[in-house]
């Protein structure tokens, strides 16, 4: 195995819950992107966020830090 990070490894099987974005409440403030410890928050060219579930460990930091409570953790 070569050195790397979770950018190269599918860690989705590690989690028990996953974040789900409520786009009606999301203002695309990028707080979730700033606090996420993994490359699991994606931002497209228009600034809209999405979750990359292949890299999400389900830690819940994004949901805890979201000022609009636009991210909820759902049990898988």
Report all structural domains of the chain as residue ranges with CATH numbers, in order of start.
12-75 (3.30.70.20)
Mean model confidence pLDDT for the chain: 91
Residue 7, pLDDT > 80, answer no
pLDDT at 67: 98
Residue 1, pLDDT > 60, answer no
- The DSSP secondary-structure symbol of 47 reads S
pLDDT at 13: 80
Please, which pLDDT band fits residue 14 given cuts at 50, 70 and 90?
Answer: confident
Helix (H, G, I), strand (E, B) or coil at 55: coil
């Amino acid at each position: 195995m070569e050195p790397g990070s979770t950018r190269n490894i599918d860690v989705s099987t590690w989690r028990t819950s996953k974040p789900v974005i409520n786009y009606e409440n999301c203002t695309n403030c990028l707080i979730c992107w700033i606090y996420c410890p993994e490359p699991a928050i994606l931002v497209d060219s228009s600034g809209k966020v999405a979750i990359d579930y292949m890299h999400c460990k389900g830690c819940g930091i994004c949901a805890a830090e979201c000022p609009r409570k636009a991210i909820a953790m759902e049990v898988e």
